[in-house]
Structure 1
Amino acid sequence: MIQEKKNGNIVAIITMFFIFAMISFVTNLAAPFGTIWKNQYEGANTLGMMGNMMNFLAYLFMGIPAGNMLVKIGYKKTALIAMAVGVLGLFTQYLSSLFGANLDVFTLGGFAIKLNFIIYLLGAFICGFCVCMLNTVVNPMLNLLGGGGNKGNQLIQTGGALNSLSGTLTPLFVGALIGTVTAQTAMTDVAPLLFIAMGVFASAFIIISFIAIPEPHLRKGNVEKEKFAHSPWHFRHTLLGVVGIFIYVGIEIGIPGTLNFYLADSSEKGAGLLVDGAAIGGAISAIYWLLMLVGRSASSAISGKISSRTQLIVVSATAICFVLIAIITPKEVTLSMPGYSVDKGFQMAQVPVSALFLVLCGLCTSVMWGGIFNLAVEGLGKYTAQASGIFMMMVVGGGVLPLVQQFISDAVGYMASYWLIIVLLAYLLFYGLVGCKNVNKDIPVE
């Protein structure tokens, strides 16, 4: 019996690892898919980023309900519902390639918005519900399966590494499938990725259905919910941290998302890559996610000696320097970076030096979530669980802020839009220096 339970846990752990990777895979599909829609709408970056916006907008509606689902129906059922929703969202995105391309729905900014674009956005929104629920489930579930403590944390770190690896590979896969984006490039060209994702979700659904999952937080019977005299909103450092999470996710997504558009744009406005710009841009943007994996690994190794506050201050200041250099460096100044061509495979590509410094920001953004979260919940005690749900809602920043950045890039150019990123990074630097201090220690938290 014990051996069977152990084997079941191993299968569940491996499945959770796949789901951890799928969270990043599904989320990171939005930016490269955006190059397809951007080109179909004559280079409108704002419309190209709308899929990403819809994906993250779902967090605003699902953050707290997802946490409530864990209490009411448990981890297992929440995970099963999430995977079913994921299949529905991916299939809806696929439907955008089958019909609606010739039917105008309304006009926006001088562009006739087609029905197929609306269908795609609906699919992206549905996928957002999926990844929000999975994000809420997968971390505590891995901790439970590992028995908590160091083993549980080790499993979470391993899952996070796979999450970063998946984020690295996604732009490569999309770039390899679509190559150079033209007006004729459509969602049908990336359908294999959608079907692979649906297959993984379906397989995980079946596996999880037959596995027993610990449910320590499942509320059974008519247990009355405990009422607190205060809330996380009464703590200044938590309130500022909530804003920090909103800003951080916007930075994390906005830097590589806009870089991908910039490198894929062969016009005078873009980087000017004439051959397989979308594929090369995707490959170079993927290095950003690879460096996030490196940064997380390094942070895990030094976190026992260097505080979250110190790490946040250092990486925020460093990222500001990187982005500033990227902005002021002329695009005519180039260097060779690893890229991918549909015809020639992996090769060195000449790209603006700005791309290198934006990619290096992945080292900095990799540790920001953990740093902000740890500082924001310090001293919260019994209010920590409520704060976690609020933080999950604020992931919506990954949709709102990149959309604002694309609006700026449409108006004044790609590199100029990164001034927004500098302002956002300056806030995180302020939070690390001043805003993270708990000035509400008089509130009882036991």
Structure 2
Amino acid sequence: MEPKKNYALPIVMMFALFFMIAFVTNLQSPLGVIVKEQFALDTFRSQWGTFANFLAYACMGIPAGAMLRRYGYRRTALAAVVVGFAGVGVTLLSGRGEGSFPLYLAGAFVSGFSMCMLNTVVNPMLNTLGGGGRRGNQLIQFGGVCNSVGGTLAPVLGGYLMGNAVGGRVISTADPVFFLAMGIFALTFLVLFRARIPEPFVVNEPRRGERTGALSFRHFRLGVAAIFVYVGVEVGIPSIANFYMTGTGAGALDMDTAVAGTIVGTYWFLMLVGRLAGGLLGGRVSSRPMLAATASLGLVLVVLGMYLSPETGVRMPVFRGGTSLSFGMETVPVGLMCFVLCGLCTSVMWGAIFNLAVEGLGKYTPMASGIFMTMVVGGGVLPALQGWIADMTDYATSYWLIFGCLLYILYYALAGSRNVNRTAPVAE
């Protein structure tokens, strides 16, 4: 009888990479506020950094899947870490002197290449190590907890560093965060370089038909669309909420930027809480009902957020940054509280959609993961579109785009995720 293999170290390494994906990606939220002021941009153009970050997914998703298939998890992850270090370094340089908006966009784009490659590795690997199904979803949810820790820290630290002084909001004020990210990348590279990671799908020659093979599955095609709108929802809710609180457009609330940073940080903290709960329940509750329930609740919260009066305040605990991370009470418009609570809903959606979309794909999984990552570009396209809607109307009205996206995710959970191609050959 073959002894049971211990995959504890590979799982821990994937969790660490999950942290870095969110930390670097969510730096774009506070940086969007900074560059808007530093370069006198409107809301639409202030989202170009986020768009550049996610545009890289459209360019790199399929090549990353091919790298994963050809070179394996470890070598693909090592390359991604090097690219991530370089991307954050370029962003750091964009703050030198008077600052350079094109260089800032270049840094966001290069960082996006890294995040795409890392996502291509960590999701199928955790799903594989868990054996797919509920256990695979459970590991992805626990990885999502680490992802949410990074997502929580990035806007909180960014909001704290940018301060309240208008003249002080420049890219260089975030230098400590950039140095922290580069240090974590360097440490991760050293650990990964020495680690042994199982490589279940590595082949020496590329196989024809893998891309089309994955796309022949209806539930995968619909899942690709679901991840496009999901990432737009996940990023759009807190990003536009930040402008809603601190911006100068129609309906802006003119709130303190440090307080706004803690409120946005609370959204990501609630994603952490939700993913932890999803991980604990993942062994007992399958992905389909989990996704349907959270999408339904999200629809209710978004409608309440749009229509409850911003003049009505409510005291709520928020996650604070500063010299010591802690919780405190702040008076928050009740509608914004509803948007923040959406973090509990979006928390488990990524893992559930990925788990459902790759169900039964077998040998097509690595290439499918690359295609899947291509559609993460939705996190750049949809927030930019939402910012444009906010410029044309007001911030609250722009959340109708979020409502439509959640409606599609609910459809995918209830009907679109069912595998109708169960007889297709997928074995090695």
TM-score between both structures, scaled by the size of structure 1: 0.84
Output aligned runs, 1:173-192, within 5 Å.
Answer: 173-180=157-164, 182-192=166-176
CA distance in 1, matches of 2:69, 2:211: 21
Q: Which deviations, in whole Å up to 9, do the C-alpha atoms of 1:107-135 show, x marking residues without a partner?
A: xxxxxxxxx01100000000001111122
Output aligned runs, 1:417-436, within 5 Å.
Answer: 417-436=398-417
CA distance in 1, matches of 2:194, 2:277: 37
Cα offset, 1:239, TM superposition = 1.8
2:257 maps to 278
CA distance in 2, matches of 1:400, 1:151: 32
Consecutive unaligned residues of structure 2, counting only runs of 5 or more, are: none
1:113 maps to none
Distance 1:215 1:311, change over 3 A: closer
Cα offset, 1:90, TM superposition = 0.8
Output aligned runs, 1:255-266, within 5 Å.
Answer: 255-265=237-247
2:109 maps to 125
1:138 maps to 122
Is residue 47 of structure 2 the alignment partner of residue 45 of structure 1? no
CA distance in 2, matches of 1:42, 1:332: 29
Q: Which deviations, in whole Å up to 9, do the C-alpha atoms of 1:386-441 show, x marking residues without a partner?
A: 32221111111111101100111111111110011111111112222332334445
Consecutive unaligned residues of structure 1, counting only runs of 5 or more, are: 102-115
Q: Could you say what the CA RMSD is over the residues aligned between the two structures, in angstroms?
A: 3.0
Distance 1:379 1:156, change over 3 A: closer
**Count of residues paired in the alignment:** 420
Distance 1:307 1:396, change over 3 A: same
2:82 maps to 84
TM-score between both structures, scaled by the size of structure 2: 0.88
Is residue 383 of structure 2 the alignment partner of residue 402 of structure 1? yes
CA distance in 1, matches of 2:63, 2:304: 42
CA distance in 1, matches of 2:249, 2:232: 26
Report the residue type matching 1:420 in the other structure: L
CA distance in 1, matches of 2:127, 2:355: 17
CA distance in 2, matches of 1:21, 1:234: 33
Cα offset, 1:147, TM superposition = 8.8
Distance 1:324 1:172, change over 3 A: same
Q: Which deviations, in whole Å up to 9, do the C-alpha atoms of 1:215-247 show, x marking residues without a partner?
A: 443324xx4625469623333332222111101
CA distance in 1, matches of 2:286, 2:139: 22
Please say which of residues 336-345 and 181-190 is displaced more in the overlay.
336-345
Is residue 29 of structure 2 the alignment partner of residue 31 of structure 1? yes
Is residue 397 of structure 2 the alignment partner of residue 416 of structure 1? yes
Percent identity reads 47
CA distance in 1, matches of 2:249, 2:372: 39
Cα offset, 1:307, TM superposition = 3.3
Distance 1:89 1:362, change over 3 A: same
CA distance in 1, matches of 2:380, 2:226: 15
Output aligned runs, 1:71-110, within 5 Å.
Answer: 71-99=69-97, 101=99
CA distance in 1, matches of 2:263, 2:113: 29
Where relative contact order (Cα < 8 A, 6+ residues apart) is larger, the structure is 2
CA distance in 2, matches of 1:153, 1:436: 15
Is residue 34 of structure 2 the alignment partner of residue 55 of structure 1? no
Distance 1:322 1:427, change over 3 A: same
CA distance in 1, matches of 2:87, 2:367: 28
Judge conservation of contact 2:66–2:366 (CA < 8 Å) in 1.
Answer: no
CA distance in 1, matches of 2:59, 2:79: 16
1:70 maps to 68
Judge conservation of contact 2:201–2:366 (CA < 8 Å) in 1.
Answer: no
CA distance in 2, matches of 1:194, 1:229: 36
Distance 1:435 1:231, change over 3 A: same
Pick aligned residue for 2:18 from 10, 15, 20? 20
